[in-house]
Structure 1
Amino acid sequence: MVGFIVLGVLALVLVYLVILYNGLVRLRALVREGFSGITVQLRRRADLVPNLVATVQGYATHEGDLFKQVTARRTDPLSAQGVAATAQADAQMTGMLGRIVAVAEAYPTLKADANFRQLQEELSGIETELAGARRYYNATVRDLNSSIQSFPSVLVASPLGFKEEEFYADDVATLQTVPRVQFDGQPK
């Protein structure tokens, strides 16, 4: 009789450990899915950038250096390795795109151009989707990290190779300031 009770308790413990493990696997999969969502939006933005640059470039030829920078660095977030490097490259691209939009504000005929307006709306939509993807990723990282750190999951997570994931943070200083647009060397 005692043997059956011990066997029953061991079976319950084993079932509980399997449930914990499966929960951690599910959370890890959600984190990976979340990061994949970010890269999808970064790809969409990278594909849109050349059209946006070409449209604005036709009006603001003296901003050539900015356009070359944006075009050359548009795929940096896609080729970055890891969450932190991707977030930093993403933040830098966001800052440069902000500068392009600020340049466009100085050209009323460009702002009225239907092609530019469409591109700007598409970029705005992508940035909204990207912000949502970042929030989703960070929420899944929070859930995974909380589970890994919580008892009794901590007893299962570490020995089975689960580790905390990095949050997607865009703490680049350029995002905290308004871009300055200059024409002919004079600040505007």
Structure 2
Amino acid sequence: MTATIIIIVILVLLIIAYVSMYNGLVRYRNRAKEFSSQIDVQLKRRTDLIPNLVETVKGYAAHEKDTLNKVVQSRNQVVSANSQQEKAAADNALTGALRQVFALSESYPDLKANQEFQSLMEELSNTENKISYARQAYNSQVQQYDTAIETFPRNIVAGIHKFQAIDFISVPETEKEAPKVKF
């Protein structure tokens, strides 16, 4: 009788531990999805700002068509990207194209002084900061999730329910180089 009660208590505790581990893994995975979604929201915000920026710049720098076309083309790639890695690659290309637009403002003092342009640049700068934060938060959550599915005893539960590791958002090697400053 006592042995039966002990076995039942142990089984109940094992079931509670199993359910707790499973629910924890689901919670980690869903938070990673949430942060991925936050990146998408900020990328959407930035892509929505770009047409206004391009139109503002067009009026001042009509002969800079190639630069503006790169921005529009890069924006469209971000919008049409399917995976997180494709979005990251397209976003990096867009960031490079936007840097060229920022550089244009130095060549056109009237553009730099334009209130709408300044407002758009400030919005883009704020959005860039939010994108950066969202990427950091996503990678942090992915690290927690990946660690959880790889450590014992959760790895047993993760294996049974086919939880898969999630890829981090990484910076391309070309972006890791220190910028060259010329005077």
Fold match by TM threshold 0.5:
yes
Pick which of 147-156 and 68-77 moved more: 68-77
- How many residues matched? 181
* Residue 75 of structure 1, CA deviation: 3.0
TM-score by length of 2: 0.92
- The separation in 2 between residues aligned to 1:123 and 1:175, in whole angstroms, is 22
* Residue 13 of structure 1, CA deviation: 0.6
Residue number in structure 2 paired with 1:134: 135
Residue number in structure 2 paired with 1:40: 41
Secondary structure, in 3 states, of the residue corresponding to 1:162? coil
* Structure 1 residue ranges, 4+ long, deviating more than 4 angstroms after superposition: 174-179
Tell me if the contact between 1:95 and 1:174 (Cα under 8 Å) persists in the aligned partners.
no
- The separation in 2 between residues aligned to 1:103 and 1:25, in whole angstroms, is 47
Tell me if the contact between 2:74 and 2:97 (Cα under 8 Å) persists in the aligned partners.
no
Is 2:156 the counterpart of 1:155?
Answer: yes
Q: Which runs of 5+ in 2 are unaligned?
A: none
Q: Identify if the C-alpha distance between structure 1 residues 28 and 41 changes in structure 2 by more than 3 Å, giving closer, same or farther.
A: same
Q: RMSD across aligned C-alpha pairs, in angstroms?
A: 1.9
**What amino acid is aligned across from residue 78 of structure 1 in structure 2?**
V
Secondary structure, in 3 states, of the residue corresponding to 2:118? helix
Residue number in structure 2 paired with 1:120: 121
Secondary structure, in 3 states, of the residue corresponding to 2:92? helix
- The separation in 2 between residues aligned to 1:32 and 1:116, in whole angstroms, is 34
* Residue 174 of structure 1, CA deviation: 5.3
Residues 43-74 of structure 1: CA distance to partner in whole angstroms, max 9, x if unpaired? 01001001111111222222101211211331
**What amino acid is aligned across from residue 3 of structure 1 in structure 2?**
T
TM-score by length of 1: 0.90
More helix by share: 2
